[in-house]
Amino acid sequence: MVGERDLLRKKISRRKAITTAGKIAISAVVAGVVAGVGGYYAGTSAAPAATVTKTVVSTTTAPPRTITKTVTKSVAKPLSLKIGVIGKSVHPYWSVVDIGSKRAGEELKKAGLDVTVTFWVPHKEDVPAQLKTMDTFIAEGYNGIAVAPSDPDAIIPVIKKALEAKIPVITIDTDSPKSERLAYLGTDNYQAGRAAGHAMLEALEKMGLAKKGGKIGIATGSLTARNSLERIRGFKDVVEPAGYVCLEPVCDYEDAAKALELAASTLAANPDMIGAFGVYAYNGPAWARAVKEAGKVGKIAIVEFDATKENIEPIKEGIIYATVAQRQYFMGYYGVKLLTLMNQWGWDTALKFYIPRYPANKIYDTGVDVVTKENLKEYYEEVKARGEPVDWTP
């Protein structure tokens, strides 16, 4: 069987390289669903039969399978729907989630659905502010909430409160598996962390820095958020068995200025560092600037997360070796469409349509792409083809 590292080295569609072996990804053709239920939102008392199409794509070489079925659902005339999306901080990463959410809302409106989407983020990571906003959405009678919890445990009671108020809640970007959330749409962060680890090993070898006992710094924006913890765990599970030493993670609490300060101080305190891992979107650029200012470009391998303009530019300059690019656009886009469909068809029916093996599985892996200078143009073309907004050029 081909290993994870071989997949990365061969650059087989990066989408295959970082998903769990054998996992099946489901791509829902929501436009067909909307067309099928359009009469319902036009004012009829019951939805007509909807033709549902799923394209099932395996990570093997087998061709995709297309499954078509008809679902008939009798429902009452709807009220206007309000969908809330809660992110974690003001950052270009979350701006992409916002764009995905709004585009879904726009498409639903064009199809005749009365859906209003509200996107909210705090200025920087702020657990109490997230909880307060959740409470506000509940009090205002929102019909669905997608939230990226900064603290997966603190949010448990508020999710329970929403569900008791008959408001469906899903998590995006960051999961809260101990809560009663109905589903998680986002990155499999442990596997993504492993992909980052393999990219680091490759970078160290190609840059001539590989050596047993070499130190690798880790910078993150949270020591409680599940996405951060899982990425770090996955990364360590690859690089530590290979003989490298991971320094204790430094945390900036989603403060970009603090991230730069911590990156610089970590480099100063560890002059023998050979690698740096950026867990959140701004951590990679912070490492890149600190390395450049310290005159250590080419002497420290950097692997980061996400693909905003500030992530891509250091790759083009040769300062950062690779980034693990999430597909956050689809977290917002599919999150809004799923919550809308849950109001239309009922929670279980919609969830079973979207998520394979639901309810045994409640995770919709949106996937990631491993991007280097070598495949940057190919990645750019793929992103444009998916319809995602791009503010950079290869």
Q: Which domain CATH number covers 102?
A: 3.40.50.2300
pLDDT score of 79: 60
CA distance 252 to 268: 17
Full DSSP string of 72-141: ----PPP--EEEEEE-SSSSHHHHHHHHHHHHHHHHHHHTT--EEEEEE--SS--HHHHHHHHHHHHHTT
Per residue in 128-156, is it b (16+ CB within 10 Å) or e — as a string? Answer: ebbbebbeebbeeebbbbbbbbbbbeebb
Say whether both 284 and 344 belong to one domain: no
Say whether both 91 and 35 belong to one domain: yes
Say whether both 45 and 162 belong to one domain: yes
CA distance 116 to 106: 9
In a domain, 321, yes or no: yes
In a domain, 14, yes or no: yes
Instruction: Per-residue pLDDT tens, the chain, 394 aa: give them.
Output: 345 544 443 333 433 333 332 232 323 334 433 433 332 232 222 333 333 333 333 323 333 333 344 444 444 445 689 999 999 999 888 999 999 999 999 999 999 999 999 999 999 889 999 999 999 999 999 999 999 999 999 999 999 999 999 999 999 999 999 999 999 999 999 999 999 999 999 999 999 999 999 999 999 999 998 899 999 999 999 999 999 999 999 999 989 999 999 999 999 999 999 999 999 999 999 999 999 999 999 999 999 999 999 999 999 999 999 999 999 999 999 999 999 999 999 999 999 999 999 999 999 999 999 999 999 999 999 999 877 878 899 9
Is cis: bond before 149, omega within 30 of 0?
Answer: no
Query: Are the C-beta atoms of residues 88 and 125 closer than 8 Å to each other?
Result: yes
CB-count burial class (<10 Å; 0-12, 13-18, 19+) for 390? middle
Say whether both 313 and 200 belong to one domain: yes
In a domain, 390, yes or no: no
Say whether both 132 and 96 belong to one domain: yes
- Total number of domains in the chain: 2
Question: Given CA atoms 256, 261, 262, 267 in this order, what sign does their dihedral have?
Answer: positive
Q: Which residue range(s) make up the domain with 252?
A: 189-326+370-385
pLDDT score of 3: 52
Q: How many CA atoms lie within 13 A of 236 on its CB side?
A: 13
Say whether both 110 and 215 belong to one domain: no
Is 0.85 topped by the overall pTM? Answer: no
Say whether both 264 and 343 belong to one domain: no
**DSSP class of 9:** H
Say whether both 194 and 181 belong to one domain: no
pLDDT score of 92: 86
In a domain, 74, yes or no: yes
